[in-house]
Amino acid sequence: MSIQIERSLFLFYIIFVFYAWAQCSQHTDCTSCTQDKGTLGLTPCCWNSNSSTCQTSLLGLCASGSTGVTYNCPTNPPSDFTYTDNFGRNYTLPFIASAYGDFNQAQVCLNNTVPDAQLIGVYNDSRNCSSVLALLPSQNTIVVAFRGAQGSTQFVITALNLILQGPLVSFPPGGKVFSYFSSCFLGIWNAGLGANLKSLKQANSNYGLWVFGHSLGGALASLTSTYAVHQKIFNSSDVKLITTGQPRTGDLDYAIAHDSSIPHSYRLINVADLVTKMPEKVNLDATNAFHHHFEIWYNQNMLIGANFTLCNQAEASNCSSSTSLVQSLSYDYHNTYFNTSIDTWFGTGCI
């Protein structure tokens, strides 16, 4: 009797697996594949972009290298602005470095690196988060740049670990973000950045906006760019976001909201930078913390002429996430973007 029950259960299981396989394998594109959650949502399908096939999940989990999240389907950035190493080196690096100084130090740094830049203000909050606001007339652009937490990577990691234990809070443009990032962003925005950004745009109506930031400042840059569009201070197409060493900033819904506001968005990652892996995810499909597009992975170093890869998935398993934790801990990738000590360079006037 019990053998009979076992036998029919086994048969049922085989039919179920076969059914799930047949159900998934009919899909030939990532979107329809990842939207298929199966009967009663029990057998979601997973897209493997390496083989371009739709596969059955195992107990609801996708095999490593495949994804069940539609947002994580491969996509390319808009062709009207592609990241170049020159852009990062000429603009992103010096503006981020300048944000580590006070007004005078920022001014000296910019005079030595981007002579055309006019520093408008430095805005900080009680948590020592800080940003610079500048005009760049040669590029018809307003620039905002955020510094990261100061000190050794170990300190940054410890601080971020505490920060990322915190709750996620709703962010007006959409989704949820880590509460420390939200507080820092609001502190700086309300310390004058928001009002001055608005009046600068009114006085220079044909200007676009570039937002840069490193580490914690990368998360703040991401929030600021999204918020500026949400507040209708700028149109989406006029904003560019470029960050270095940015941790995961919010949940999947925030990533989606960010992308719809900021299509020209690039996160630079130096080889195996540990901070960009935080908060840590064992399963890249987990939606509580989700990177947004587009990862630029410098996979060897960031010397002049270094190669980099544009990754077409927000959480790609074969870009920086493919590096090991051991490699991440083996070298201070986090503080040396573009072969420059990003948090101390201002001390020598950025030369």
Residue 168 or 275: which CB sits closer to ligand NAG?
Answer: 275
Burial of 50 per CB tally in 10 Å (0-12, 13-18, 19+): exposed
Contact between 204 and ligand NAG per CB under 6 A: no
Contact 36, 71 (CB under 8 A): no
Contact between 342 and ligand NAG per CB under 6 A: no
Contact between 226 and ligand NAG per CB under 6 A: no
SS3 call for 68:
coil
- Mark residues 153-192: x for contact with ligand NAG by CB under 6 A, - for none: ----------------------------------------
Name the residue among 79, 98, 69 with its Cα closest to residue 313.
69
Contact between 150 and ligand NAG per CB under 6 A: yes
Q: Where are the beta strands (DSSP E) in the chain?
A: 45-48, 53-56, 66-67, 118-124, 130-136, 141-146, 168-170, 176-178, 208-214, 239-244, 265-270, 295-298, 309-310
b/e per residue 154-192 (b: at least 16 CB within 10 A): eebbebbeebbeeebeebebbbbbbebbbbbbebbbebb
The whole-angstrom separation of Cα 207 and Cα 247 is 29
Least spacing, CB of residue 57 vs ligand NAG, in Å: 16
Contact between 49 and ligand NAG per CB under 6 A: yes
Q: Which of 87, 198, 287, 329 binds ligand NAG (CB under 6 A)?
A: 87
Contact between 92 and ligand NAG per CB under 6 A: no
- Mark residues 118-137: x for contact with ligand NAG by CB under 6 A, - for none: ------xxx-x---------
Contact between 225 and ligand NAG per CB under 6 A: no
Name the residue among 267, 202, 264 with its Cα closest to residue 238.
264
Query: Cα dist. 243→14, 23, 88, 219, 350 in Å?
Result: 49, 40, 9, 8, 19
The whole-angstrom separation of Cα 134 and Cα 207 is 12
Contact 63, 55 (CB under 8 A): yes
Contact between 307 and ligand NAG per CB under 6 A: yes
Candidate ranges 6-14, 79-87, 173-181, 277-285; the one touching ligand NAG (CB under 6 A)? 79-87
Least spacing, CB of residue 301 vs ligand NAG, in Å: 7
Contact between 65 and ligand NAG per CB under 6 A: yes
Candidate ranges 55-63, 170-178, 242-250, 305-313; the one touching ligand NAG (CB under 6 A)? 305-313
Q: Which of 54, 93, 108, 289 binds ligand NAG (CB under 6 A)?
A: 108
Residues contributing to the site for ligand NAG (CB under 6 A): 49-50, 65, 84, 86-87, 90, 100, 102, 104, 107-108, 111, 124-126, 128, 150, 232, 234-235, 300, 303, 305-307, 309, 318-319, 336, 339-341
